[in-house]
Structure 1
């Protein structure tokens, strides 16, 4: 066996756990989603919609208008639901814009502790009169009925919620359409599959909700540049579960321009790589002690982004020996079914299908990010906001 064949065989072998995990999640996600988790006896619930914002004056107004429109369309919740903007280390007019719109504003200034995790913790500690917090990014539209659907799932024994999270204006460009497909797999199919298997759906960073009881049991102390993934890892280890809300949807902006998209992608993938390095050992130890709930978060951290998974499968198909080539073929079939089901779940149109033709160029672009991803995997990596489109 020559060196190239060894590389191809290794590439195919590395995809086996991910392909098996994708198969399980895809099959589970094909079943109808669960209904509401159960209503609380406390009526009405006091809900705070938190909007963390760092220099978001260009797009915040659209987000607040989206939330207010949904709130006004659900008259039963108006008295018990309020919007709070957390203006975090802003040097623009984000806070003034939010106040002029008529919502509560918390301002935070701390140059040493920057990032969304710090902003959320600041708000959670200062807002006491709330049963639930719903977190919405400042570049997001909520679809009609969002608040009503989320509230319907806020059962007395429910720890946290996560809804569908897609791309705002997904037909505006091929990049946006391709991003919507990717989020359909990552942010719809996978958490839906986990929920069907009785697992914690996960936290996607936008459109999630935490109960006051959960925050009292497990304070929001996530500090990494992927604080949502980190906090979910902490939740699972503490025996808490995120319930999936399939009938609610948020849509967030894509980064503005190629450089900004590269910055966001490198930050996110580097942050997950860091968490894998830090959490894989403890999770493996928990599995060896018979704590099977550690299996899913370990598999989730080990699962590569679809582009890297596809790249390894193609490498195995082209270079590996016959046996591991068969593994690569099976993996490619699994991946195709996974993406196909995601397209169905997001009700994809022709623009989404055309965007899939750009995947080869996207793979080459991802290869160019390897060095940046590695830098963002360092423990001292800093959170930096990616530029968004101007509205």
Structure 2
């Protein structure tokens, strides 16, 4: 049946339906294809690199009521410091004895009290002012959360790479599940590994760029002192990394620097994932158009934008499956259906490869049968992005 004419051509109903099918496949297929590419590229074997010269560095550790768990973080950091390095703890609006415990463990401590302005961004701004005034000799600044433990050799690796590359550097930040962690916590930890290890390495290999994920970051001194951290943001680290990329600065990954944070309870994991994922989706909405506009001159930013377009895995899987059903209903098992199915198979292979190469320890095969329960647990967090979106920073509950 003829529908309309345009420039002397007749468009049929079949052509319109086919066009809709291809458009649906393209919209759903782009983030799915990006996930597949990052997983496949991020699981390639690599050779370890030399650390090189390690400059004098200082660590900033924001801490809000971390008295119960800060000891492990400080001890792990101190084991890697030299006489000209320093650990600076910013005790931010603490109601416990975080500051006293940190001092007792040998850290330099500054205290900040401002109940109206809370969050990591404000603490980092406070620490930045201290470094500018008191440590003119350091050449690299590292940022670590107070609930994280840097594995041996990670701090020198980060400092050396920041100075050598004159770039912001992100280490591999992972969650360590306790032996008695339940399946939901383990699956969430595996999803965290896909995002922070596999996809981060994949993005770096595909584009030469990386994203900042929070704990385990390093910056050259001049870059850090010029930065301004957003207070109250849900994902201030991610936003800072994107701002640096848009400004023409380099952001790279250090695969040999590993940072571990203990996983939380299932309730704490839910709050943590809600904050991170709501923050990431809000950030993607704001930054993808800016990255694509800047990509005219720096094509690599197109891949960074595509990375931000990848939603949480459960949401991506559900939307991609729904799109496949729509395409099948519109055009049957034709080109757009087969193309979208091929992309989905590639993504499944990529995630399976990532699990085989990196994730079997955190997610044993016996946990895979609990995937439906994980999806049911995750769906309300996704729906809340529309119904009850998180907009303010809250402290994640820690396991004792």
1:64 alignment partner in structure 2: 74
Q: Paired residue for 1:85, among 84, 89, 94?
A: 89
2:40 alignment partner in structure 1: 27
Are residues 1:310 and 2:332 paired?
A: no
CA drift of 1:13 comes to 4.5
Contact 1:98 1:105 in 2 (8 A): yes
Aligned mates of 2:50, 2:207 — CA distance in 1: 12
Q: Paired residue for 1:204, among 210, 213, 225?
A: 213
**Cα pair distance change 1:171/1:36, threshold 3 Å:** same
Aligned mates of 1:111, 1:377 — CA distance in 2: 23
3-state SS in 2 of match to 1:382: coil
Show structure 1 runs of 4+ deviating over 6 A.
7-11
2:7 alignment partner in structure 1: none
Gaps of 5+ in 1: 2-6, 72-76
TM-score normalised by the chain length of structure 2? 0.83
2:234 alignment partner in structure 1: 225
Q: Deviations over 1:129-179 (max 9, x none)?
A: 222122221111222222233244244342121111211235431234223
Are residues 1:301 and 2:305 paired?
A: no
Contact 1:161 1:242 in 2 (8 A): yes
2:65 alignment partner in structure 1: 55
Contact 2:184 2:266 in 1 (8 A): no
RMSD: 2.8
Contact 2:175 2:193 in 1 (8 A): no
Moved more, 344-353 or 242-251: 344-353
**Cα pair distance change 1:274/1:178, threshold 3 Å:** same
Alignment size in residue pairs = 373
Are residues 1:194 and 2:184 paired?
A: no
Q: Paired residue for 1:336, among 324, 339, 348?
A: 348
Gaps of 5+ in 2: 1-12, 14-19
How do 1:1-391 residues align onto structure 2 when only pairs under 5 Å count? Answer: 13-33=26-46, 35-36=48-49, 39=52, 45-68=55-78, 70-71=79-80, 77-128=81-132, 129=135, 130-169=138-177, 171-173=179-181, 174-221=183-230, 224-258=233-267, 260-287=268-295, 289-318=296-325, 320-321=327-328, 322-323=333-334, 324-346=336-358, 348-349=360-361, 351-374=363-386, 377=389, 381-390=391-400
Contact 2:204 2:210 in 1 (8 A): yes
TM-score normalised by the chain length of structure 1? 0.85
Higher Cα Rg, which structure: 2
Aligned mates of 1:221, 1:34 — CA distance in 2: 36
CA drift of 1:244 comes to 1.6
Aligned mates of 1:113, 1:328 — CA distance in 2: 47
